[in-house]
Amino acid sequence: MTAKRQEPKESPFKHIMESKVGTKTKLNGKEYLYFAGTGYFQLQSNPEMIQAAVEATQKFGIGSATSRTISGTTPLLLQLEEKIADFFGTEDAAYLPSGYLSNIAGFQALEKLNVFNIIFIDESSHYSNIGGALITGKKVVKFKHRDVDDLREKIRTHLKNMEKPLIVSDGLFPIWAELAPVEAYLKIAEEFDGAVWVDDSHAVGILGENGRGIYEYFHLDSDRLFMGGTLSKAFGAYGGFVTGNTAFIREVKTGHVMTGSSAPPNALVAAAIKGLEIVKNHPEIRQNLWNNAFYLKNGIKSLGLKVDENHLPIVTFRLSDSNKMRHIHQKLMDKGIYIQFVKYVGSGADGVLRIVVTSSHTKPQIDYLVSSLGVLL
């Protein structure tokens, strides 16, 4: 049977990406100035990373065709986990097949260690955080988005004597680029003898002096803080990870997610090692990203749109109705610019227009986006 190419309307995939991802990216046969995705440093197309992936495949093959805990891990996987632990300054780290799975693996390990009895989760948390929480089989209570008072209220209502809460959130929420109030969450965790978990997939690499994410950004350090993330965004590679102390990471490494899945492909492991090295050794790319974020936000603000003036590389706005947003999205595409018109967790049913700037965008590219958008508003 030959595969039938679906019309874009029938397909769940609106765009066919026909080039490497970069500031210019080819979609459906046309090159666009690309302000989307999560490749905040555009390492996905970095020649050194591609070279590392090729060499690893030539040396070790595609993959090991086994679960790591059953028939063997590889030197590359062990090296990657050392690199992750070194990058985040933790005792140990576990590498997992995706960021999506990191949350599940993390919760299962915390449950085994009796760290919590009930999960209290931000209602706008990523699908994988909510799914991972439900998989534990423990009681899951949602609290209002970033609302510390509501969290307290929910804890008082649901937590019984001697029970411990696990407070769960994204670190950096991907649609509106909001930061979780983790400082307040830690205080509550201390008060109720609980713990905090963040899915920091969007903050790792880009937030904090060393790119360690939201905890570093707020200068927090505590045995009650746990996190997972992805290597597929800022680090330009693929796969998820969990960091932490030796006992916790041992539970992750011997848990169902790692035991029940094949080790990720060698190309991606080698690329991830290189990606971590690049982000660690080149702090200037983080500075470029922050500068570009400020520059873009200044421009967008000059158009009369409300923006949070900070160094986070995402600008999102919602207009009166989805037809207007669709129209602007299309008109920008006609001008050779791609931004997202997206419905995702936190966007609401009508969707939002979302711009992602990277460390590689140039000022003229950002100017062109801002002036083109200005004409359409």
Ligand X SMILES: Cc1ncc(COP(=O)(O)O)c(C=O)c1O
Give residues in contact with ligand X (CB under 6 A): 98-100, 126, 128, 170, 174, 199, 201-202, 230, 232, 240
Please identify, using beta-carbon distances, which residue of 64 and 98 lies nearer to ligand X: 98
| Max CA separation in the chain (angstroms) | 61
| Smallest separation (angstroms) from ligand X to the CB of 188 | 22
Q: Please, are residues 163 and 144 in contact by the beta-carbon 8 Å criterion? A: no
The Cβ of residue 300 has, within 10 Å, a number of other Cβ atoms equal to: 21
Provide the residue type at 240 as one letter. Answer: G
| Smallest separation (angstroms) from ligand X to the CB of 233 | 7
Classify residue 202 by its DSSP letter.
T
Please identify, using beta-carbon distances, which residue of 174 and 194 lies nearer to ligand X: 174
Q: Structure tokens of 328?
A: 């602007």
| Smallest separation (angstroms) from ligand X to the CB of 126 | 4
Q: Structure tokens of 212?
A: 């360690």
Element containing residue 4 per DSSP (H, E): none
Q: CB nearest ligand X: which residue? A: 99
Please identify, using beta-carbon distances, which residue of 208 and 240 lies nearer to ligand X: 240
Query: What does the alpha-carbon distance between residue 250 and residue 144 come to, in Å, rounded to a whole number?
Result: 33
Of 95, 71, 64, which Cα lies nearest the Cα of 82?
95
Q: What backbone torsions phi and psi does residue 142 show, to the nearest 5 degrees?
A: -90, 140
| Smallest separation (angstroms) from ligand X to the CB of 331 | 27
Please identify, using beta-carbon distances, which residue of 294 and 344 lies nearer to ligand X: 344
| Smallest separation (angstroms) from ligand X to the CB of 34 | 17
Query: What does the alpha-carbon distance between residue 241 and residue 228 come to, in Å, rounded to a whole number?
Result: 6
| Smallest separation (angstroms) from ligand X to the CB of 142 | 16
Please identify, using beta-carbon distances, which residue of 168 and 366 lies nearer to ligand X: 168
Of 253, 251, 199, which Cα lies nearest the Cα of 228?
199
Please identify, using beta-carbon distances, which residue of 90 and 201 lies nearer to ligand X: 201
